A and B are shown apart, each in its own frame.
Chain A
Amino acid sequence: MSTHAGTALTDEVRDTFDRALAEADGEPAVELVLNLLDNGVPPESVLLGLIAPAQRRTGERWAANEWSIAQEHAATHISEQAVAALALATRAVRPDERLGTVVVACVDGEWHALPARILTEVLRLRGFRTRFLGAHMPAGHLVSYLHRHGPDLVALSCMLTVRLPQAYRVIHRAQRAGTPVLAGGPGFGPDGVWARTLGSDLYATGAARAADLLAARWPPERTGTPDLDRLSTEEYPALVRRRPDLLRHVLDDLHEHFRAMSAYTPEQYDATVEDLGQLLDFLAASVFVGDPRVFTGYLDSAVPLLTARGVPAVRGLTLTLRSLVRPLPDSPRALAHLSEGLRWLGALR
């Protein structure tokens, strides 16, 4: 039986895969993927046309509070198993001798490894020699890997803008070790604007485009230079250092002015502390790259997320941002980004 690639990824196929993710059942997902390959569906289509979109829906379900984080995690695990099975089934693909070696890594603290894993396989299927270093790669480990194995390129995945300062550390250190960097992932902003700010040598949206770009520009060269100013290097570390104080300050303020909080269960309280910590991390990242869109982008995703959890989001965030203005008189950029955030929230009322 042979099916045309364009018609093989039917709605029925997608439903089967989605169901396997929902039930956290690896075997049917793997069986489905192997059957598609047996039927002649190109492996790249299975990766980018089936597994990647299903994973996106998983993220949406979590964001809409339909799935718990544990469910999302289990679903991701199944997707990873499906990718691993595909990799094993296509391991006979020979590397193209005109191309070289790409090492794929996720930013330190980044747990969304699946897109990077998919990129690894797409590049391998296109003839690159690849190595996937897994999620959450500390910059030091990566540098040690670069010196030991000498790949031609680091492909760095960053899914969340909050990790941009860590991404910079990785880019900078990889380049110092003489290896150019390809940046990818929504964390680098619209059209990869912050990939350029951080001095990445190349940028691509999506695995297929990354493969096209690299094939056209092989071997990659060191060309990027970071565009970070004094405020980035002064204000960012101060914000990181003061994070616990700022968190305590905001919590005290919210206790006083945000009455809903007094009725919180310990779990709700913990979740709030976590959310506030994240807000501070996004503010710090925003200050680091010097672009308030990092911060307003966070607000844009936080409002529906908090609303889905029954939190009066706009009011709570407005109080939080106002509360942060007071302890930050020496941080002109943080203040500018806070007022940009307040303006953004004001437009929602």
Chain B
Amino acid sequence: MTGGSREERPARRGPPEGRPPGPSHPAAPRVTAPAGRRPPPGREPGRPPADLPPGAWDLIGEAVVVCDPSGVVSGHNRAARTFFPRLRAGEKLSGPAAGPLAGAAERGEESFDAPFAGRRLVGHRTVVEGRTVWLVRDASAVREREDALLAERSRSAFLARARGEVAASLHHTRAARALVRAAVPELARTAALLLPPRGPRVPWHLAGPGSAEYSGEVPVQTLDRTPRVAAALSGLDPRLVPCPRQELDALHVITGRLPPGDGKDGEALLVPLSGSGDPAGALMLLGPGRSAAAPGGRGTDVELASRFAAQAGTALAAADFYTRQTRTTEALHAGLEPQPLPEAVPGVRLGAAYRPARGALDIGGDYYQVCRRSGGGVEFFLGDVCGKGVEAAVLTGRVRQTMRALTLVERRPVRVLELLNTVMLEAGEPRFTTLVTGSARPHREGGLDVVVAGGGHLDPLVLRRDGRVEPVEIGGTLVGVLPDPVFARERVLLAPGELLLLYSDGVTEARGGRTGSGMFGEERLVKQLSACGGMPAGAVAERVELLVSEWLGEREVSDDIAVLAVQAAPPSAEAHLSRAHPVGERIKEEGR
């Protein structure tokens, strides 16, 4: 915007006449003509027409000031008289009369750009036939537009940044804290946000200078003494209003956190936040922000504040909505997660691993449960509901509850499966499940006496002390399909240290390995299991999960993985159980 050589600007020469421009003439010269090479007729540089009247100078919008070599003004036009009213021909250029022009001439500079007498003046010097000619134009309007543009650009940048910060987290409290942080220091020195009342309390968050942050709650009755804040919080009045002094005093729990000065002079703006119509909160802006100090800024930038409020309110409301939804899902979820294994059951060591396929709920169609058995030992089951996703997950919850209730009244596992089959058929459940259920009781000669029954599930594996791995063939029909199913049971004796492994098809049908499509397979599982001799049940279950996950590699887990290991406690462990430590807080189950 400061260049002055408008006349000499090189013009791009168009295609020769008669030849239309276009791709048919790719070689058409697209060169730029050197300045002044072909001046248009009648515009010969330096040669004004001989009959130019002296008054013509005054038609030029720019100020023209001509000085002789000694610096005395020899002539100037009307624009020059407007810009420099005290400039006189025949006088030397002086500071009071010519301001920055005189300064630039004094210092021998080619140009200047400075304010003078209420204008922004930009001047350039040229020398024509020994005389100095200054061309000076008024750049005030341009400068104002530039300032306005820069201010708008900085507002947009602020809003974009703020949007990113406030919308980053869907957690309501974090979004609220990000919101007050984002408002400081651009909109206000301190920003406080009151959230819609939650029961008897109104949560608030505050961010002040120097990353100071506070949070807390005020009793909902406080709002009785702060009608304007209450109105902003109710979403009834979308206007931005000043916050009266007495309301700030009533909220001294919040405003007491302010640095001295903020809010005391009444410089507090109340900004209602709403997300698609519902009240999302009330923002208090206290003390002038950086935008107020920007050129042209007068007090708090109300327009910027309301734009900020519109987008931040939407983000805050979305976070609130998400958080409420999440609370609902988590409540439902909690009933579907595998229950922790019972701790310190004499004679029994347990281990489990559970890894759901990636989904919205983090739970899938596999399930297991182990409960203490009255009279010693445990009752257990592990199964797999056909299908995936939420529907399968909900059915696992139902199957688990039914199984638990049935095992309380019926000890024969085959009968339990038959009853479950009836329940599922009567409920008109379109899905079916496969499962293995059973019990493990300490045997009077040591080890565990295990009974298992199968409903169409993969046969459990027994890891013997010598490293042999034997399947327990129980078969059975799927549960929830046929009106007269066939289930079978088997009895297995586990010597101390020996282990029964139940697993879902997510283990053996995991596809991966070197080729990416090979199945993990029962053979590999048996081989790996035989190397787990002497390991505690928990480590065996984790190891199976690890091996399968490694087999899957980077590929997404497409099916649930559930593993349950029931082990006869080795003799050494028996002795220690007298001091039944609650050691079972299992890492795998946290956070799931």
Using a CB–CB distance below 8 Å, which chain A residues touch chain B? 23-28, 30-31, 34, 68, 70, 73-74, 76-78, 80-81, 84-85, 87-88, 109, 111, 113, 117, 131-136, 138, 140-141, 144-150, 176-179, 219, 221, 240, 244, 247, 273, 277
- Shortest C-beta distance, B572 to chain A (Å), equals 6
Kindly list chain A residues whose C-beta atoms are within 8 Å of the C-beta of B170. 147, 177
Kindly list chain A residues whose C-beta atoms are within 8 Å of the C-beta of B362. 141, 144
Is B304 part of the binding interface, using a Cβ–Cβ cutoff of 8 Å?
no
Task: Scan B562-590; emit 1 where CB is below 8 A from any A CB, else 0.
Answer: 00000000101100110101111111101
Q: Assuming A73-B535, A78-B536, is B168 touching A88 (CB within 8 A)?
A: no
B573 touching A70 by the CB < 8 A rule? Answer: no
Is B211 part of the binding interface, using a Cβ–Cβ cutoff of 8 Å?
yes
B576 touching A27 by the CB < 8 A rule? Answer: yes
Kindly list chain B residues whose C-beta atoms are within 8 Å of the C-beta of A27. 572-573, 576-577, 581, 583
B535 touching A176 by the CB < 8 A rule? Answer: no
A85 touching B171 by the CB < 8 A rule? Answer: no
Is B402 part of the binding interface, using a Cβ–Cβ cutoff of 8 Å?
no
Task: Scan B162-181; emit 1 where CB is below 8 A from any A CB, else 0.
Answer: 00010011111111001000
B213 touching A219 by the CB < 8 A rule? Answer: yes
CB contact list, B456-480 vs A, under 8 A: none
Is B358 part of the binding interface, using a Cβ–Cβ cutoff of 8 Å?
yes
Is B222 part of the binding interface, using a Cβ–Cβ cutoff of 8 Å?
no
CB contact list, B291-323 vs A, under 8 A: 322-323
Name which residue of chain A comes closest to B515, CB basis: A244
Q: Assuming A148-B171, A150-B173, is B581 touching A31 (CB within 8 A)?
A: yes
Q: Assuming A68-B531, A150-B174, is B546 touching A134 (CB within 8 A)?
A: no
Is B326 part of the binding interface, using a Cβ–Cβ cutoff of 8 Å?
yes
Name which residue of chain A comes closest to B538, CB basis: A77
- Shortest C-beta distance, B65 to chain A (Å), equals 52
Kindly list chain B residues whose C-beta atoms are within 8 Å of the C-beta of A25. 536, 570, 572-573
B326 touching A148 by the CB < 8 A rule? Answer: yes
Kindly list chain B residues whose C-beta atoms are within 8 Å of the C-beta of A70. 531-532, 535, 543
Kindly list chain A residues whose C-beta atoms are within 8 Å of the C-beta of B267. none
Name which residue of chain A comes closest to B588, CB basis: A134
A77 to B166, CA, bound (A): 42
Identify 12 residue pairs between A and B in the complex whose beta-carbon atoms are under 8 Å apart, listed by A's number. A24-B536, A25-B536, A26-B583, A27-B576, A28-B576, A68-B531, A78-B536, A131-B590, A132-B590, A147-B170, A150-B172, A178-B168
Identify A134's interface contact among B326, B549, B587, CB under 8 A: B587
A68 to B539, CA, bound (A): 14
B581 touching A147 by the CB < 8 A rule? Answer: no
Question: Between A and B, how many residue pairs show CB distances below 8 Å?
Answer: 126
B592 touching A111 by the CB < 8 A rule? Answer: no
Is B542 part of the binding interface, using a Cβ–Cβ cutoff of 8 Å?
yes
B590 touching A133 by the CB < 8 A rule? Answer: yes
Name which residue of chain A comes closest to B351, CB basis: A77
A147 to B531, CA, bound (A): 41
Q: Assuming A24-B534, A70-B543, A77-B535, is B171 touching A150 (CB within 8 A)?
A: yes
Kindly list chain A residues whose C-beta atoms are within 8 Å of the C-beta of B174. 150, 178-179
- Shortest C-beta distance, A76 to chain B (Å), equals 8
- Shortest C-beta distance, B132 to chain A (Å), equals 52
Kindly list chain A residues whose C-beta atoms are within 8 Å of the C-beta of B514. 244, 247, 273, 277
A126 to B470, CA, bound (A): 49
Q: Assuming A77-B542, A132-B590, A273-B514, is B581 touching A85 (CB within 8 A)?
A: yes
B171 touching A74 by the CB < 8 A rule? Answer: no
- Shortest C-beta distance, B548 to chain A (Å), equals 11
A177 touching B583 by the CB < 8 A rule? Answer: no
A323 to B512, CA, bound (A): 25
Is B591 part of the binding interface, using a Cβ–Cβ cutoff of 8 Å?
yes
Is B152 part of the binding interface, using a Cβ–Cβ cutoff of 8 Å?
no
Identify B542's interface contact among A73, A148, A149, A179, CB under 8 A: A73
CB contact list, B148-207 vs A, under 8 A: 165, 168-175, 178
B587 touching A84 by the CB < 8 A rule? Answer: yes
- Shortest C-beta distance, A146 to chain B (Å), equals 7
Kindly list chain A residues whose C-beta atoms are within 8 Å of the C-beta of B588. 134
B539 touching A73 by the CB < 8 A rule? Answer: yes
A85 to B586, CA, bound (A): 10
Name which residue of chain A comes closest to B514, CB basis: A273
Q: Assuming A31-B579, A176-B168, is B542 touching A117 (CB within 8 A)?
A: no
Kindly list chain B residues whose C-beta atoms are within 8 Å of the C-beta of A277. 514
Q: Assuming A73-B535, A177-B169, A247-B514, is B542 touching A87 (CB within 8 A)?
A: no
Kindly list chain B residues whose C-beta atoms are within 8 Å of the C-beta of A244. 514-516
Name which residue of chain A comes closest to B533, CB basis: A70
A34 touching B542 by the CB < 8 A rule? Answer: no
- Residue among A27, A73, A117, A131 with max Cβ neighbours from chain B (10 Å): A27
Task: Scan B324-360; emit 1 where CB is below 8 A from any A CB, else 0.
Answer: 0010001000000000000000000000000000100
- Shortest C-beta distance, B501 to chain A (Å), equals 14
A145 to B211, CA, bound (A): 26
A256 to B320, CA, bound (A): 64
Identify B543's interface contact among A30, A73, A109, A273, CB under 8 A: A73
Kindly list chain A residues whose C-beta atoms are within 8 Å of the C-beta of B584. 84
Kindly list chain B residues whose C-beta atoms are within 8 Å of the C-beta of A134. 587-588, 590-592
Is B554 part of the binding interface, using a Cβ–Cβ cutoff of 8 Å?
yes
A91 to B590, CA, bound (A): 15
What are the 5 tightest A-B residue pairs by CB atom distance, in nearest-first order? A150-B171, A178-B168, A27-B576, A77-B539, A178-B169
B169 touching A132 by the CB < 8 A rule? Answer: no
- Residue among A25, A31, A78, A81 with max Cβ neighbours from chain B (10 Å): A81
A140 touching B587 by the CB < 8 A rule? Answer: no
Name which residue of chain A comes closest to B325, CB basis: A148
Kindly list chain B residues whose C-beta atoms are within 8 Å of the C-beta of A133. 590-591
A87 to B358, CA, bound (A): 30
Kindly list chain A residues whose C-beta atoms are within 8 Å of the C-beta of B538. 77, 81
Identify B585's interface contact among A84, A138, A150, A221, CB under 8 A: A84
B536 touching A74 by the CB < 8 A rule? Answer: yes
Kindly list chain B residues whose C-beta atoms are within 8 Å of the C-beta of A30. 581, 583
A77 touching B536 by the CB < 8 A rule? Answer: yes
- Shortest C-beta distance, A82 to chain B (Å), equals 8
- Residue among B171, B330, B579, B588 with max Cβ neighbours from chain A (10 Å): B171
Kindly list chain A residues whose C-beta atoms are within 8 Å of the C-beta of B579. 31
Kindly list chain A residues whose C-beta atoms are within 8 Å of the C-beta of B585. 84, 87-88
Kindly list chain B residues whose C-beta atoms are within 8 Å of the C-beta of A26. 536, 573, 583
A76 to B169, CA, bound (A): 35
- Shortest C-beta distance, B511 to chain A (Å), equals 14
Kindly list chain A residues whose C-beta atoms are within 8 Å of the C-beta of B323. 148
Kindly list chain B residues whose C-beta atoms are within 8 Å of the C-beta of A141. 358, 362
Kindly list chain B residues whose C-beta atoms are within 8 Å of the C-beta of A74. 534-536, 539
Q: Assuming A24-B535, A177-B169, is B591 touching A131 (CB within 8 A)?
A: yes
B591 touching A132 by the CB < 8 A rule? Answer: yes
- Shortest C-beta distance, A118 to chain B (Å), equals 12
A345 to B178, CA, bound (A): 51
A78 to B572, CA, bound (A): 15
B573 touching A178 by the CB < 8 A rule? Answer: no
Kindly list chain B residues whose C-beta atoms are within 8 Å of the C-beta of A221. 211
A122 to B235, CA, bound (A): 45
Contacts A27-B581, A148-B330 aside, 6 further interface pairs with beta carbons under 8 A come to A23-B572, A27-B583, A28-B576, A111-B546, A148-B326, A247-B514
- Shortest C-beta distance, A160 to chain B (Å), equals 13
- Shortest C-beta distance, B533 to chain A (Å), equals 8
A34 touching B581 by the CB < 8 A rule? Answer: yes
